[in-house]
């Protein structure tokens, strides 16, 4: 009769030992290798550059400069620069403007500045810049798309941090998609903003005084946005490559020291 309790005790010990070995193997398999962790950190550093450029672009108002032409009978000329959120008009001394330039500017020159946030975010009113009227629907679309890009970018950054801190590698693919999508949304926002600038230049008020002739040029904030979108998409591609299985690359690139037999 005593053989049955001993049998059950041995069977229970065997089952517990097998379960503990499975847990140990699972934990060892889930542990990230230092080489893989280094690759993810390097890709995250690239994405961080894109994040910094994106925040700098969206938060500043030097997306486009509007410049009036210099007048011979005046010592003062006017210029303006605007972004997604506000517009700044400036009165500059013509003596400070470079001699070979026909228009007023650049906007970085010292002068009397007046900056105001766009009212179509609060009261729905269009802005009036040099006798021209903004098209608020297009401006709002550019701002909303840019904010969506920042939100998706933050989600991707959080996913990669969870991969590095908690070992949740299944989030790496989600982070790759988020970074690629955020870069695409930022580039779409830039294109929509370009359409808003064209709409602004075309909507000329016919009320006196007559609207001055304008020249426009895109400035460094928009250049930062273009660079940010491209870098974010590149970072997303790097993360996506890290999620692919290693066997195709191992077949194409054999390890050093391997000899065919």
Q: Give domain limits for the chain.
A: 36-244
Q: How confident is the model at residue 178 (pLDDT cuts 50, 70, 90)?
A: very high
pLDDT tens per residue across span 134-168: 999 999 999 999 999 999 999 999 999 999 888 88
- In angstroms, what CA-CA distances link 39 with 32, 187, 235? 11, 26, 12
| Two structure tokens written together for 18 | 């097998």
* pTM of this structure: 0.80
What's the chain's Rg over C-alpha atoms? 29
CA distance 15 to 5: 15
Is 189's pLDDT higher than 60?
yes
Nearest by Cα to 40 from 243, 239, 182, 241: 239
Fold that domain 36-244 belongs to in CATH = Butyryl-CoA Dehydrogenase, subunit A; domain 3 (1.20.140)
């Amino acid at each position: 009769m005593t053989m049955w309790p001993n049998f059950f005790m041995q069977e229970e010990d065997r089952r517990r030992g097998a379960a503990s070995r499975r847990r140990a193997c699972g934990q060892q398999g889930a542990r990230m290798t230092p080489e893989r962790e280094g690759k993810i950190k390097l890709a995250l550093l690239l994405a961080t550059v894109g994040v910094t450029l994106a925040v700098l672009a969206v938060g500043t108002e030097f997306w486009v400069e509007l410049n009036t032409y210099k007048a011979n009978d005046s010592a003062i000329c006017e210029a303006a620069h605007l972004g997604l959120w506000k517009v700044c008009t400036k009165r500059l001394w013509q003596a400070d403007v470079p001699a070979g330039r026909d228009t007023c500017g650049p906007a970085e020159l010292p002068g009397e500045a007046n900056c105001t946030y766009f009212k179509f975010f609060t009261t729905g009113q269009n802005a009036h810049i040099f006798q021209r009227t903004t098209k608020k629907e297009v401006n709002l679309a550019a701002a909303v798309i840019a904010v969506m890009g920042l939100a998706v970018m933050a989600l991707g950054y959080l996913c990669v941090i969870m991969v590095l801190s908690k070992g949740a590698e299944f989030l790496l693919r989600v982070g790759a998609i988020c970074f690629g999508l955020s870069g695409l949304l930022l580039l779409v926002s830039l294109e929509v903003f370009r359409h808003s600038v064209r709409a602004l230049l075309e909507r000329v008020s016919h009320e006196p005084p007559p609207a001055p002739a304008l020249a426009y040029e895109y400035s460094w904030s928009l250049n930062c946005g273009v660079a940010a979108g491209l870098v974010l998409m590149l970072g997303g591609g790097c993360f996506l490559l890290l999620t692919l299985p290693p066997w195709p690359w191992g077949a194409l690139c054999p390890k050093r020291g391997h000899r065919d037999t």
